[in-house]
Amino acid sequence: VSFSDYRFNPETGKEPHFDKYEVLARDGMTVLDGLLYILDNVDPTLSFRFACREGVCGSCAMFINGSYRLACQTQIKNLKSSKIEVQPLPNFPIIKDLVVDLAAFFEKVEKVMPYIKTVSAPPEKERLQTQHDRHRINEVIDCILCAACQSACPQGWTDKDFLGPAALIKAYRFIGDSRDEAAKERLKLVMGEDGVWRCHSVFNCVEACPKKINQTVAISSLKRKAVAQKLKFWQR
């Protein structure tokens, strides 16, 4: 198969371009395997991120053949093409080649306090959670912070202060967690001008998500909670 990889090194001053490589594909080979083959055997200067190889860390999210995908989970044979075009996640500053700068992305996630926060005295052993309570956050808890949804969000293209779908569903995940005691505090963080009301329900994030999370539905739920909070109706 032919790999066409996006190349750009800001330090050289050269324009971005694509380099082509021939890779001998084998059964079970992923796009990440192909990139590693190029790195090890053809071009050691190619830069890209990867870590777990299991679709858990989100490091290898890329724009592959026109779609957002995890390179480690994308089987070459399933692309049904002898030509594979690999680009970095759009709408992020490029550090080098397929590596983008995610610093601003993680800063936005940190703003919503993506962790369980309590004010009551800790229990003797642990804070219990029923299966019913866990079921409410089953889907959004699968977010691996790959940033594909953020890259695909048209609101994020024009408003750099918009929290974005990843941060908002992290807020939704902890607001919905029965063990958390900072739901109202966290909700106030996403009610502002750059929060939930900037989402226009385009569903790009849903299409881009490799974990099939419906961010738009979660954000809509946050909007309802925000209105209820404003009207003093909302209780956890």
Q: What are the pLDDT digits (tens) for 15-40?
A: 999 999 999 999 999 999 999 999 99
- CB of 102 within 8 A of CB of 92? yes
What is the tally of helices (H) and strands (E) in the chain? 9, 7
Q: Cα 182 to chain center, whole Å? A: 24
Other CB atoms within 10 A of residue 168 CB: 28
Q: So what's the pLDDT on residue 137?
A: 95
Distance (Å, rounded) from C-alpha 131 to C-alpha 5? 45
Distance (Å, rounded) from C-alpha 59 to C-alpha 49? 6
Better-scored residue on pLDDT, 60 or 81: 60
Report the predicted TM-score, pTM, of the whole model to 2 decimal places.
Answer: 0.91
The Cβ-side half-sphere exposure at 45, using a 13 Å CA radius, reads 6
